[in-house]
Structure 1
């Protein structure tokens, strides 16, 4: 566990700064363009390149590319360097072509993910998409560079590079807001020049992020030379494995398409309670997941892949069990605190510029529902890595198909049964129920694959963590109640709620868990104390 903890700590530090600057960026975005019509148009345009990237490359990095690179590093006489050059060449050429095609097809892509929009809103979204879609090429090349760095156990740069992206975007949004003020959120007042600043600025951040990763890769000894002898890249084997991953991502994107269209439709009826609210809440939901779980997953997958390659199933079980418990040690209290303090978080971040307190509170209500999903969602992602470490990308497809069916069914019920104001909260609840069910199914199948996942140890650990976290949540709830009774909800009172309630809650949890001798929490406390004592 100590090796995973150290590697995860390095990545978590970078991810923490990345997420904090990301929240500043998100807050500036909301302040500049709001969460009504222009906000929805931007968020849909911004999501499309990541949808395409998720389908084309991001989804196969952990499941196919990382295990394949590690395998070639062990088997090739040159340590897999030529193969890495082939992969980088393929990514650069193919993703550039995809980016060009996406720009040409921006209008039908926007039409696919919107519902009930008028001509002006569609035109604005298409214009923004044409400026944003070129980032596909840069983001994809950076992702391949990050994957190669991870296989060399260099985790810092991939976690710190997004910070530069966020800083660039923050500067762009500050300039945009200073230029336009309240008019910056008005769909009818923004000009083509204003949209160019917003769209090109978004792409500029990704370009900067890509350059950082490419330079870091060069510094660890990688020398890029275009190689078009792709027959030697093992693309056939990777393609057969990746085909199932493409299917998995495609199935998930069907669910995302339904969620986006339903939330976009709700936003047309109730401005501020649509796609932007869902996206902003989901970003906050991913904060603890991105800082803690992604760091552990990134450090864990190469180790599990090596253990599978060497036939050491005991090591696989141990890596997974320790990973789940390490992630849950902080995810459990984070989920409960999000359920209590969600509106306080969003009011502090979003009640500025072209946003109102009521709009910020609504995002917080959606975040509270997402808090329920934090632990099952994180465990589900860890479970997928068990299959990927075996090179099995087929089983996750069937699990993902089941998730998508459940998610779509529940989302449609929420859209039909709930008033428009509550549709997005219903979509968040559908997400939560989906991952609770999906985690149960994935656990059963993964446990059969490795002949047990130390389930009793994990359940015991989680039970003790929840016992330690409940007093923390109650303490935060008490602070919330006292603050609401003595002051109106605004940015200042929200800051007090977070500082007193969130701070007291986390300290209380760490103290109780440490006294209960929960080893994962004790390890974290010991590591932090050691750093502070230096």
Structure 2
């Protein structure tokens, strides 16, 4: 159950993983999977996507295109976030990041939560059932989306001062809140173009075209990167700036460039519509869309998304109150969250994408023992793969943050504070992915209502944790406290989900899972000890400079990975070989 800031990563019934660059992957892969041969850990990945055929080419080709687009997008997206920090620094960057969260949150409430859970399946059904392949229905749906998103965006922009006030606590300086509002006026229109991009991507995916939706976000990132470059050339970095030092020209350049990025992303998808033969004509007929059915289907998903976005508002409100004075705040929290999601996206999402079709087929046929076996294998495989990454984040948190983020207006102290938050986030990496795996199991069982009901106590605990930790911790550890609350809520989500799944599908083989996890834990502990020893021997110590931090990351990370693999092999953790084999197959492809 998502605890992230930017966009709910479970926004649909098949998931909408949040990339580090802010791009949402629209997935319509609900085709039954085939049975894996032998003792293969995962089902075959060449499962044909649904949605009306194979206009986009073979599934293997589509997978390669999507994998390449995702990798390039993640790398460039991370460069984008690094440059934003270096250009704006922690204080101004906090205000910018707070404003940038707003369109993502509001978009989720308007459309994101129901897109892949309701609208994409609806487009798939109409494409198969309608004589015109769903052409007229899609035109009507896009027309309705443009009108409603446009009207909603205008209302939200007009209400920007009130929305930013909700995100501000009593301790938030007025000048800081005013700066967030100034950014918001130019950034909030992103809502419209994000929705437009998502709808066009859905239309393309349903017609078997996957390349443009995966590569278009790169245009967005490149525009923002260029904006940061222009800002530095024209104004320099904001190092030492106060909120009142941000003139209208400076605000217009950085916020306007951010808006221009998403406009470029949406425009970059239009040629692909023509390529798949879809002609977008204005068709205003909302009654013909069956909105009553959409509303009924979307109810539980809106409940799920609404709970998550409430948590987002709370954490941003808390962290806005501690921004400045060399405290890790919204920008640091978001950078750490992106690192956490990057690990999950590379490992957890790959496992889930491969498992979901097979679990869905088994659930549809009532083979709950197979669902249980797939879920157990998924948990063992994901945990085995993520354990060394979690160890690296915990042992090398500060060197990683200094290497990646220090520079320009983002000072050494800002990077050091970010590293402290990353150390805490290391405990969230594995619970996050296990909770997601359980959620995907519910999706395979058509349990959207169950997911929403489980999410309510999880979010309530998360919010309670935010408030309690904000009270008992100093301002300098507020972001770390928020991250710790997320980690606890992920763990609670996994425990509740496993208990409910056990009642629904029977025995989950948790004994064998626990035995495997204990071996992984021992291997991770040995690797952590080796990593700490290397840190003591390498130059830089606890406060490394940029070069010594990079040295610690390379050498320490290599030692952690090597010791982990050797220890896991000695303990006969069979999933290690399966993880290595999966990576080799992907690289070979």
Query: How far off is 1:451 after superposition?
Result: 3.7
What residue is the counterpart of 2:16 in the other structure?
Answer: none
| Contact 2:383–2:517 (8 Å) recurs in 1 | yes
Structure 1: gaps spanning 5 or more residues: none
* Distance change >3 Å, CA 81–CA 377, structure 1 → 2: farther
Q: Distance in 1 between matches of 2:206 and 2:229?
A: 37
* Distance change >3 Å, CA 39–CA 533, structure 1 → 2: closer
Larger CA deviation: 89-98 vs 402-411: 89-98
| Contact 1:73–1:81 (8 Å) recurs in 2 | yes
What residue is the counterpart of 2:100 in the other structure?
Answer: 46
| Contact 1:67–1:389 (8 Å) recurs in 2 | no
Considering fraction of residues, name the structure with more helix.
Answer: 1
Which one of 187, 204, 211 corresponds to residue 260 of structure 2? 204
Query: How far off is 1:111 after superposition?
Result: 0.6
Is it true that 1:117 corresponds to 2:172 in the alignment? yes
What residue is the counterpart of 1:251 in the other structure?
Answer: 307
What are the Cα deviations for residues 462-506 of structure 1, in whole angstroms up to 9, with x where unaligned?
A: 444444444433333232222256695111011111111113323
Structure 2: gaps spanning 5 or more residues: 1-41, 47-59
What are the Cα deviations for residues 344-373 of structure 1, in whole angstroms up to 9, with x where unaligned?
A: 111012211112212111111111111101
Is it true that 1:97 corresponds to 2:151 in the alignment? yes
Is it true that 1:65 corresponds to 2:106 in the alignment? no
SS in 2 for 1:3: coil
Query: How far off is 1:141 after superposition?
Result: 2.0
| Contact 1:8–1:296 (8 Å) recurs in 2 | no
Q: Distance in 2 between matches of 1:2 and 1:211?
A: 36
| Contact 2:391–2:560 (8 Å) recurs in 1 | no
| Contact 2:89–2:238 (8 Å) recurs in 1 | no
Q: Distance in 1 between matches of 2:420 and 2:267?
A: 38
Larger CA deviation: 430-439 vs 484-493: 484-493
Q: Distance in 1 between matches of 2:68 and 2:528?
A: 25
Query: How far off is 1:140 after superposition?
Result: 1.3
Is it true that 1:482 corresponds to 2:537 in the alignment? yes
SS in 2 for 1:272: coil
What residue is the counterpart of 1:444 in the other structure?
Answer: 499
Query: How far off is 1:106 after superposition?
Result: 0.9
Q: Distance in 2 between matches of 1:10 and 1:467?
A: 38
Q: Distance in 1 between matches of 2:359 and 2:135?
A: 22
* Distance change >3 Å, CA 529–CA 295, structure 1 → 2: closer
SS in 2 for 1:349: helix
* Distance change >3 Å, CA 355–CA 429, structure 1 → 2: same
Query: How far off is 1:299 after superposition?
Result: 5.7
SS in 2 for 1:14: helix
What are the Cα deviations for residues 114-149 of structure 1, in whole angstroms up to 9, with x where unaligned?
A: 123334323221121111111111111222333445
Which one of 363, 373, 382 corresponds to residue 418 of structure 2? 363
Query: How far off is 1:312 after superposition?
Result: 5.6
| Contact 1:370–1:432 (8 Å) recurs in 2 | yes
Q: Distance in 1 between matches of 2:119 and 2:356?
A: 11
What residue is the counterpart of 2:473 in the other structure?
Answer: 418
Query: How far off is 1:25 after superposition?
Result: 1.1
What are the Cα deviations for residues 354-399 of structure 1, in whole angstroms up to 9, with x where unaligned?
A: 1221211111111111110111111212222333344433222222
Write out aligned runs for 1:283-432 (5 A).
Answer: 283-298=338-353, 301=356, 304-305=359-360, 308=363, 313=368, 316-317=371-372, 320-432=375-487
Q: Distance in 2 between matches of 1:81 and 1:318?
A: 41
Is it true that 1:143 corresponds to 2:198 in the alignment? yes
* Distance change >3 Å, CA 373–CA 24, structure 1 → 2: same
| Contact 1:67–1:391 (8 Å) recurs in 2 | no
Q: Distance in 1 between matches of 2:308 and 2:277?
A: 37
Larger CA deviation: 73-82 vs 354-363: 73-82
For these two proteins, the number of residue pairs brought into alignment is 532
SS in 2 for 1:492: helix
Query: How far off is 1:96 after superposition?
Result: 1.8
SS in 1 for 2:243: coil
| Contact 1:66–1:302 (8 Å) recurs in 2 | no
Larger CA deviation: 123-132 vs 67-76: 67-76
Query: How far off is 1:322 after superposition?
Result: 4.6
Query: How far off is 1:447 after superposition?
Result: 3.4
Q: Distance in 2 between matches of 1:112 and 1:19?
A: 31
Larger CA deviation: 416-425 vs 515-524: 515-524
Query: How far off is 1:30 after superposition?
Result: 0.9
Query: How far off is 1:168 after superposition?
Result: 1.6
What residue is the counterpart of 1:235 in the other structure?
Answer: 291
SS in 1 for 2:396: helix
* Distance change >3 Å, CA 370–CA 351, structure 1 → 2: same
What are the Cα deviations for residues 294-318 of structure 1, in whole angstroms up to 9, with x where unaligned?
A: 3444565566556655656566445
| Contact 1:48–1:133 (8 Å) recurs in 2 | yes
What are the Cα deviations for residues 15-49 of structure 1, in whole angstroms up to 9, with x where unaligned?
A: 3322222221111111111112x222111111100
Larger CA deviation: 506-515 vs 384-393: 506-515
Query: How far off is 1:53 after superposition?
Result: 1.3
Which one of 38, 44, 48 corresponds to residue 3 of structure 1? 44
TM-score (norm 1): 0.89
What residue is the counterpart of 2:55 in the other structure?
Answer: none
Q: Distance in 2 between matches of 1:267 and 1:450?
A: 47
Q: Distance in 1 between matches of 2:463 and 2:542?
A: 41
What are the Cα deviations for residues 413-432 of structure 1, in whole angstroms up to 9, with x where unaligned?
A: 11111122112211111111
